[in-house]
Amino acid sequence: MTVKAISADSHMDLTFLPPDTFISRVPAQFRERAPRVVDRDGAKYWMTGANELGRYGYYGPGLTGGKRGKILADNGFTSGHTRPSDTVARRQDQERDGVEAEIIYGIIGISRRLFGVGISDPELLTAVYRAYNDWIAEFGRSAPGRYFGLGCLPNHDAQAAAAEARRCVELGLRGAVFVPWGCKFPVWHEMWEPMWAAAEEADLVISFHVFEGGGATVGYEIQGIKNPACTGAWVVVAPGQMDEILASVILSGVCERHPRLRLVLGESGIGWLPYLLERMDDTYEERLADDLKLSLPPSAYFKRQIYATFQKDFHGVRAMAEIAPDNVMWGSDYPHRDGTWPFSQKAIDEQFRGIDETIKRKMLWDNVRRVYRITSVV
């Protein structure tokens, strides 16, 4: 039996975007440097100037691709067909998977390319993010109640991030992604106060996403050398590395100062949360209370306004069902190798076996609708 589900973590990667996404939307002064698709050596690549940002229309086998990479290849994700940005094809993929709506993360790695060189010019990056936000808003309007895209916020300047947060709301977006990776200052720094204030005032959800931090000790590529063990280690530990973001926004007082702000840890997994919440409470009481002077125990801020998503986390589901069932949301991670498409119904059945139906509905349906204010799913 198909279980009703909304994916709280799906994706729209650069590789699948229409070739004119940026050059048709950025201001004239950025057009020559805006990302574009270029033919090179018999293949198509996204380029900005002389820098390669990644293949166009290709995602699947590769380093650590394994079975998941082959599944994607067999379903056309390496053939140059950009299914995720085709509204009809994407809907077919979701119906095949039993997913009724999606929260869609965007071009989160473009600020430094997830595995290499990216866009370092902050003004160009802001223009690129604005162009993407315009595009993803248009994409969402193509299927109301089905696709809920997240905007992208500049991470070089708090005022620019605040302005784009307000603009995302004007575009009709329910949330936006902030990338701490490569920021001028970490998320706990007071520099970011205008962004938090703008998001709270505009009722915009701020999301972080896995692979946006950490990786320093198990870097994906060192001096041009790729190693499957190194890559595998990074993929395995990356969700847990979001503990730094979680602890930072709570202990620095972001949640204390902005009680209506909603924050999401995308693709973070949830099995590590019980330990971290317990440790934060204990450490705060034993060592930090005199200095930080928070009004609530750290875990209370999480339960009030922070949420996390997972794909497959058998033990995490059971632990969080006891601790904070209102704060976790399932996601398919479509169309990534780390995801569950096109077997999400099987994954859901395995993860929720024996779980109370009320808890199950919260994690698959109710929580994501509440967090992103989704009133209608079509």
Return the pLDDT at 114.
Answer: 46
Condensed to tens digits (0 to 9), the pLDDT of residues 302-352 reads 999 999 999 999 999 999 999 999 999 999 999 998 999 999 999 999 999
How far the first Cα of the chain sits from its last, in Å, is: 20
| Per-residue DSSP letter, 212 | S
Lowest mean pLDDT among 46-50, 131-135, 158-162, 175-179: 46-50
Return the pLDDT at 224.
Answer: 60
Return the pLDDT at 54.
Answer: 86
Q: How far is CA 72 from CA 76, 79, 336, in A?
A: 7, 10, 8
Q: How far is CA 73 from CA 1, 51, 76, 299, in A?
A: 27, 26, 5, 42
- Give the burial string for 356-367 (b: 16+ CB within 10 Å, else e): eeebbbbbbbbb
When pLDDT is cut at 50, 70 and 90, the band that residue 180 belongs to is confident
In angstroms, the CA 115 to CA 123 distance is 22
Residue 3: Cβ-neighbour burial (10 angstroms; 0-12, 13-18, 19+): middle
Helix (H, G, I), strand (E, B) or coil at 162: helix
137 C-beta neighbours (distance < 10 Å), count = 17
Task: Name the CA dihedral angle for 189, 190, 196, 198, rounded to a multiple of 10 degrees.
Answer: -140
Residue 82: Cβ-neighbour burial (10 angstroms; 0-12, 13-18, 19+): buried
Q: Are 70 and 59 in contact (CB under 8 A)?
A: no
Overall fold of domain 6-18+87-371: TIM Barrel (3.20.20)
Return the pLDDT at 237.
Answer: 82
Task: Name the CA dihedral angle for 319, 322, 327, 333, rounded to a multiple of 10 degrees.
Answer: 30
Query: Mean of the pLDDT values across residues 368-375?
Result: 97
pLDDT of residue 234 exceeding 80: no
Which tokens hold the place of 305?
């306004």
Q: What percent of the chain has pLDDT over 90?
A: 72
Write down the domain spans for the chain.
6-18+87-371
Q: Parallel, antiparallel, or unpaired for β 175-177 and 147-152?
A: parallel
